[in-house]
């Protein structure tokens, strides 16, 4: 394989992985525009209890995500079989949903099985099957917040589930030392 072909393959793989990262960020920050940008208009999302179009999936995912105080979609092992302008990918995920109140936190593990297509030079999801392999309740700490908690009432978490989150700030502005 020539150097140019290797570089083109590396760029394709990188761009596909960036779609996966945008998807996770879009869901966790409730940034519907960002999450929706990962799909072609004619894509089908087969996601456990939901099967439908991206325009129907994003609001459904929002409703599910809003049941939690915060969420994290972590994408992990990523296998990508490139075949020209098609790519067949398997990406492992961990999902964590933090519940408010006394309820247990929720964890889910599984895989995204994706068919990506490159159209007009851009990679997006053409079809997806999400395989949920495990769901778990994680109890809250028995005696209130953990002594190892990073946040207190005086210094709360800076996370937000919208574009006010510090991750959207350019440049990010840290708190000032006391």
Indicate whether 17 belongs to any domain: yes
Q: Is residue 127 one of the residues assigned to a domain? A: yes
Give exposure, 74-101, as e/b (b: 16+ Cβ within 10 Å): eeeeeebebeeeebebebbbebbbebee
Query: According to the model, what pLDDT value does residue 122 have?
Result: 98
- Number of other CB atoms surrounding residue 110 within 10 Å: 18
- pLDDT of the residue at 143: 55
pLDDT at 140: 83
pLDDT on residue 93: 98
SS3 160: coil
Low-confidence ranges of the chain (pLDDT < 70): 142-150
Residue 21 is predicted with a pLDDT of: 98
DSSP string, 89-145: EEEEEEEEEEPSTTSPEEEEEEEEEEEEEEETTEEEEEEEEEEEEEEEEEPPPTTSS
The answer to the question of residue 81 being in a domain is yes
- Check which CATH number belongs to the domain holding 59 and give it: 3.10.450.50
Residue 173 belongs to a domain:
no
pLDDT tens figures, 135-173: 999 988 765 555 456 677 777 777 888 998 889 989 887
What confidence score (pLDDT) does residue 146 get? 54
> Quick one: pLDDT at residue 51?
97
Tally of domains in the chain: 1
Let me know if residue 172 belongs to a domain. no
Its domain, for residue 118, covers: 3-141+150-166
The pTM for the full model equals 0.89
């Amino acid at each position: 394989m020539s150097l140019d072909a290797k570089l083109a393959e590396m760029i394709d793989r990188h761009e596909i992985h960036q779609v996966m990262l945008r998807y996770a960020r879009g869901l966790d920050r409730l940034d519907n525009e960002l999450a929706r940008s990962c799909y072609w208009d004619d894509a089908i999302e087969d996601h456990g209890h939901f099967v439908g179009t991206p325009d129907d999936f994003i609001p459904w995912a929002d409703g599910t995500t809003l049941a939690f105080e915060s969420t994290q979609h972590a994408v992990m092992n990523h296998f990508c079989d490139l075949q020209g302008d098609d790519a067949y990918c398997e990406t492992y995920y961990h999902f964590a949903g933090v519940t408010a109140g006394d309820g247990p936190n929720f964890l889910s593990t599984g895989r995204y099985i994706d068919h990506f297509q490159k159209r007009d030079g851009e990679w997006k999801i053409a079809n997806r099957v999400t395989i949920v392999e495990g769901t778990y309740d994680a109890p809250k700490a028995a005696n209130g917040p953990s002594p190892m908690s990073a946040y207190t009432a005086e210094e709360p978490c800076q996370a937000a589930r919208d574009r006010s989150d510090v991750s959207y700030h350019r440049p990010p502005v840290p708190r000032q030392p006391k």
